[in-house]
Structure 1
Amino acid sequence: MAMRRETGTQGDLVVGWAELPRSPGHAYYDELQKVLLDAGFDVFVENACKPYYAAKMGAPSLPPGRYFRMHMVGYFEGLDSERGIVWRCADSFSLRDFLRLSAREKVPDHSWLSKTRSRLPHEVHEKVFGFVLKLVAERGLVKGERIGVDGSTMEANAALRSIVRRDNGETYRAMLERMAKESGIATPNAEDLARFDRKRKGKKLSNDDWTSATDAEAKIARMKDGTTHLAYKPEHAVDLDTGVIVAAPIHEADKGDTTTLGDTLETAKANLTAVGLAPTPDDPCEIIADKGYHSREVLKGLDDGEWKSRISEPLPANGYLRWQGDEEARTAVYANRARLKSGVGRAAMRKRGELVERSFAHVLDRGGMRRAWLRGRENIAKRYLIHVAGFNLGVLMRVLVGYGTPRERAEAPTNAFLFVIRTDSATGIVIIADIGGTPAMLVVIAAPELD
C-alpha cells in the first residue's frame, strides 16, 4: 500500500443541509419549541402584528415569531445587548433551530431588531405577554388570590456626565468649571474638577433641576447597591402561589412606591381579567407589599374594594398616630394592621420576600436587564415585557420538564439505572442513563454467565 500524502482538501461545492455536522441539540430549547408550536405562537403573533405591515409592497421583514424568540433567547442566555443576542444565535445550531432558520438563512442583524421594535407598538408586546400568561394559566399556574408587589431599579443607557440644567442648558462639567474658577482655580483640569466636586459642600442632584441630554425620561436615582445613576423603575406584581409575574410595568425612577402602585395594580387587574381571574369586591385579591407602599391614602383607596391590603406598616416617628378626625383612614389602617399581624399575613409577607425578589434576580440580574442598552421608557418596556414572558415560560417549563432555564437543564446531574436480567441460558446487564441534556440511552451487555 502506497503512502498517501497530505496535499490539502478542496471544499465541497454543494452540501445538503442533512449532510452538515450537527450537534444533538439543546433539550431545553427543543422542549420549549414544542410548547410554543403546540400553542400556535407564530400564528398568534403574526395576526397581532399584521396591521402594522404593508399588505403587498416592500421587502419581507423579520418574521414576528423570530423577533420575539430572539428576545426570549436574550433572557434565557442572560444577554443584555441585542448585538450579543445576534452573536449568540449565530454561534449555535440549537438556537438556529429554535429561531426556525433554514440552511440558507442568516441570523437577523441587530438593526432588524431595532426596526421591528420601532414598528410594533407597546400594545403588541402586551398581547404577546398576555398570550404567554394565558398559556401558563391554562396549566393552573396563575391563581390570582395573593399578589406580591415590589419595585427595583434598572440603570439607564445614559451617563450622569451628560446631564444638563433644565433652566439654562448648562452641562454639569461647565457648572463645575465655573464654580472652580469662582473659588480661585484659574485653569482647572479634569483631576482638579473631580477633587473640587468631591469636597464641595451642599452637593445635590435633583430631577427638578437636571435632566439627561440623551434620555430625557431617565431619572437620577439611588440604585440597590448604593450608587447613583440615571435609572428606571421596574415594578413586579407576582402571584405568590406560583411565582408567575402577572404585571411588570416600567415607571420613572423618581416616582415613589405609593405613586406607582395604582398603575401596577391596574395592569395586573387587566391581565388577570384576560385569563378569567379578575378580582372583584365580592372576591377580592390580596395585595402584599412592604412598608414603602404604606400610606393612608393608599389604604383608603384599597379599603372595601377588589384588593385586600396586607401592607407592612412602618413605625410612627413619635410612637403613636394622630388621625385629625379622619375616621376613614383610621379604619383602613387598623384593618390592614389586623390582617398583617395574622398568621396568614405573616406567611404571605415571607412568601413575598422570597418570590418577588427571586423574580427580580432572574429578570434583572441573571436575565441581563439590570443595565438597559435602549433609550426611552417605551422602548425599554417593550423588551422588558418579553423578558418577563420568558421568565413565565421558565416557570411553565419547570413544571413540564423539571428545569426552568437552559443552564439548569445542561447542569442537571447524570442519572443512571442498572438492571441485571437472568435467564436459564444467559445473564445480561441493562443500563438506562440520562446524561445532562442528551436523550436516554439503552445499553445491553449480554454474557453467558455473570456472577
Structure 2
Amino acid sequence: MAMKRDAGVQNDLIATWADMPRSPGHAFYDRLNKLLSDASFDAFVEEVCKPFYAATMGAPSLPPGRYFRMHMVGYFEGIDSERGIAWGCADSFSLRDFLRLSSSEKTPDHSWLSKTRARLSHEAHEKIFDWVLKLIAERGLVKGERIGVDGSTMEANAALRTILRRDNGETYRAMLTRMAKESGIETPSAEELARFDRKRKGKKLSNDDLTSPTDPDARIARMKDGTTHLAYKPEHAVDLDTGAIVAAPIHAADEGDVATLPATLKAAAENLADINLAPTRENPCELIADKGYHSRDGLKGLADGVWKTRISEPKPAKGYLRWHGDEAARDAVYANRARLKSGVGRKAMRRRGELVERSIAHVLDRGGMRRAWLRGRENVHKRYMIHVAGFNLGLLMRALFGAGAPSKAVQFLIQSRHSED
C-alpha cells in the first residue's frame, strides 16, 4: 500500500448537499429544540419583538428566536461572554442545528447579539422569561405555595482602579498621590502608593463618594469570596416545591437584603399572577428567607398580607427585646418566630438552603454569570433573565427526559444503554 501524502487543503469549487458535513445530533439540544418548536416558541418571540423592527424596509436581521437560543446556549454551556457564545456556536454543528441555521448561513457574531439586545426592550426579555415560566407551570413545575428568597453578588464589567470622586472627578490614583505627598512622600512610586493605600488610616471606599465612569450603575461591594469589586446584586425568588425561579431582579450591590426584598416580592407576585398562582390574603404564600431579611418594619409591613413569613431571626445583642409601645411590630415578630420554630418552618428553612443556593450556583457559577461582561444594570438584567429562563427549561428537561444539562444528557444516555445491555 502506497502512502498518501498531504498536499495541502484546496477548497472545493462546487459541493453538493450530500457532501456537506452535518451534525450527528445532540441528545439534549435536539430534544430541547423539539420542545420549543412544539410550544411555538419562535412564533411567540417574533410576535413580541415585531414592534422593534421595520415593517417593510431594512436589511435582514438576526431572528429573535435565534438570539434567545444563543443566550440559552450561554447558560447551558457555562459561557460568560457573548463573544464566547458566538465562537462556541460557530464551532459546533450540534449548536448550529439548535440555532436552526442552514448549511449556507453564518453563525451570528457577538456584534449581532449586542445590536439585537440594544434593539429589544427590557419588557420584551421579561415576556420571554414569563413565557418559559408559564411553559413549566403547565407541566406542574410551579406551585406558588412556598417561596424562598436569597441574593448574591456578581462582578461588574468595570475596574476599581477607574473609579472617580463624585465631588471633583478626581481619580483614585490621583487622590492617593495627593494624600501621599501630603504625608511626606514627594514622588511616590506605584509600590509606595499601594503600600500607603493599605496602611492609611480611615480608608473607606464609599459609594456616596466614589463612582465608576464606565458603569455608573455598578456599586462597590464585598464579594462572596471576600474580595472587593464593582458589582451587582441578583436576588432569586425560588419555588421551594419544585426549584423553579419565579423572579430574579438585579439590584444595586450596596443595597441590603431588607431594602431589596419588597421589589423582589413584587416581581414574584406579578409573575405568579401571570400563571394564575398569585398569593392572596385568603390564600397567602409562605416566604422563607435567612436572617439578613429580618427587620421589625419589614415583618410589620408583611403582616396580614399575601405573604406568610418564616424569616430566620438573629439573636438579640442583650438577650431580650424592647418594643417601646410598638405592639404591631411585637406581634409580627412573635408570629414569625412561632411559624419559624414549627416543624414545617424548620423543614422549609432546610429546603430554602438547598434549592435557593442551588439556583444561584447554577446560574452564576456553572452558568457563567458570576462575572458580567456587559455594562449597565438593564443590559445585565436582560441577559440574566434569559439565563434564568434556561435554568427553568433545564428543570423541565430533567422532568421530561431525565437530564437538565447537555453534559448530564450524555451521562444519562450512557447509563440507560448500559442498563439495557
Which TM-score applies when normalising by structure 1? 0.91
Amino acid at match of 1:298: G
Q: CA deviation at 1:182?
A: 1.0
Instruction: Name the residue aligned to 1:103.
Output: 103
8 Å CA contact retained: 2:221, 2:228: yes
- In structure 2, relative to structure 1, the CA distance for the partners of 1:21 and 1:196 (3 Å cut) is same
Is 2:141–2:396's contact at 8 Å kept on the other side of the alignment? yes
User: Which amino acid is the alignment partner of residue 282 of structure 2?
Assistant: D
Give 2:312's aligned amino acid: S
Q: Residue 353 of structure 1 aligns with which residue?
A: 353
Q: Which whole-Å CA distance do the structure 2 matches of 1:392 and 1:417 have between them?
A: 29
Residue of structure 2 equivalent to 1:437: none
Deviation per residue, 1:75-126 (Å, 9 max, x gap): 0000000000000000000000000001110001100111010111100000
Task: Show the counterpart of 2:154.
Answer: 154
Q: 1: CA distance between counterparts of 2:70 and 2:205? A: 38
Shift of residue 17, structure 1, vs aligned partner: 3.2
**Which whole-Å CA distance do the structure 2 matches of 1:315 and 1:4 have between them?**
80
Q: In the TM superposition, what are the counterparts of 1:271-282 in structure 2 within 5 Å?
A: 271-282=271-282
For 2:242, the equivalent position in structure 1 comes to 242
Report the counterpart of residue 385 of structure 1 in structure 2: 385
Distance between the aligned counterparts of 1:162 and 1:4, measured in 2? 61
- Superposition deviation, residue 12 in structure 1: 3.2
Deviation at 1:10, TM superposition (A): 5.4
Alignment pair present for 1:180 and 2:180: yes
* In 2, Cα distance between equivalents of 1:323 and 1:373: 47
Structure 1 gap segments, 5+ residues each = 419-431, 434-451
Tell me the distance in 2 between the aligned counterparts of 1:401 and 1:7: 45
Q: d(CA) in 1 for partners of 2:400 and 2:285?
A: 27
Distance 2:405 2:131 in 1: 20
CA distance in 2, matches of 1:140, 1:183: 66
Instruction: Tell me, in whole angstroms, the C-alpha distance in 1 between the residues paired with 2:3 and 2:67.
Output: 50
Distance, in Å, in 1 between the alignment partners of 2:11 and 2:130 is: 49
CA distance in 2, matches of 1:417, 1:155: 43
Map of 1:296 onto structure 2: 296
Q: How far does residue 232 in structure 1 lie from its aligned partner after superposition?
A: 0.3
Does residue 39 of the first structure (1) align with residue 39 of the second (2)? yes
Mapping of residues 108-187 of structure 1, within 5 Å: 108-187=108-187
Deviation at 1:318, TM superposition (A): 1.2
What is the distance in 1 between the residues matched to 2:232 and 2:378? 11
* Structure 2 residue 72 is the aligned partner of structure 1 residue 67: no
Question: SS of the counterpart of 2:61?
Answer: coil
Q: Which residue of 2 aligns with 1:205?
A: 205
Which residue number corresponds to residue 220 of structure 2? 220
Distance 2:278 2:350 in 1: 24
1:347-393 CA-to-partner distances (Å, cap 9, x unmatched) read 00000000000001000000000000000000000000000000000
- Count of matched residue pairs: 419
| Structure 1 letter corresponding to 2:25 | G
**1:268 aligns to what?**
268
Higher share in helix: 2
Q: Which amino acid aligns with 1:414?
A: Q
Residue type at the aligned position of 1:159: A
Higher relative contact order (CA 8 A, sep 6+): 2
CA distance in 1: counterparts of 2:2 and 2:174, whole angstroms: 77
**C-alpha distance in structure 1 between counterparts of 2:222 and 2:133, whole Å:** 32
Does the Cα contact within 8 Å between 2:136 and 2:142 map onto a contact in 1? yes
Q: Is the 8 A contact 2:29 2:95 kept in 1?
A: yes
Letter in 1 for 2:415: T
Aligned-residue offset at 1:213 = 1.2
15-24 vs 76-85, which deviates more? Answer: 15-24
2:409 aligns to what? 409
The CA distance in 2 between the partners of 1:123 and 1:319, in whole Å, is 48
Determine helix, strand or coil for the equivalent of 1:149. Answer: strand
1:13, distance to aligned residue in structure 2 (A): 2.2
Aligned to 1:336: 336
Provide structure 2 residue ranges, at least 5 long, that are not aligned to the other structure.
none
Provide the C-alpha distance between the structure 1 equivalents of 2:24 and 2:114, rounded to a whole number of angstroms: 32
Distance 1:5 1:54, change over 3 A: closer
Question: How many Å apart are 1:3 and its aligned residue?
Answer: 6.7
Contact 2:20 2:103 in 1 (8 A): no
Residues 259, 20 of structure 1: alpha-carbon distance in 2 compared, 3 angstrom cutoff: same
After superposition, the Cα gap between the structure-2 partners of 1:417 and 1:361, relative to the gap in structure 1 and judged at 3 Å, is closer
Task: Tell me the secondary structure at the aligned position of residue 411 of structure 1.
Answer: helix
Q: What is the CA-CA distance between 1:24 and the residue it aligns to?
A: 1.6
Structure in which a larger fraction of residues adopt strand = 1
CA shift, 1:408, in A, is 1.3
Counterpart in 2 of 1:396? Answer: 396
> In the TM superposition, what whole-angstrom CA distance separates every residue of 1:306-348 from its partner, at most 9, and x where no partner exists?
1100000011111111111011111111100000000000000
Measured after TM superposition, the shift of residue 416 of structure 1 is 4.2
**RMSD between superposed Cα atoms in Å:** 1.5
- 1:12 maps to a residue whose letter is D
The one-letter amino acid of 1:83's match is: R
Distance 1:408 1:291 in 2: 35
The equivalent of 1:443 in structure 2 is: none
User: What is the Cα deviation at residue 226 of structure 1?
Assistant: 0.6
Instruction: Return the alpha-carbon distance in structure 2 between the equivalents of residues 22 and 409 of structure 1.
Output: 20
Distance 1:4 1:195, change over 3 A: closer
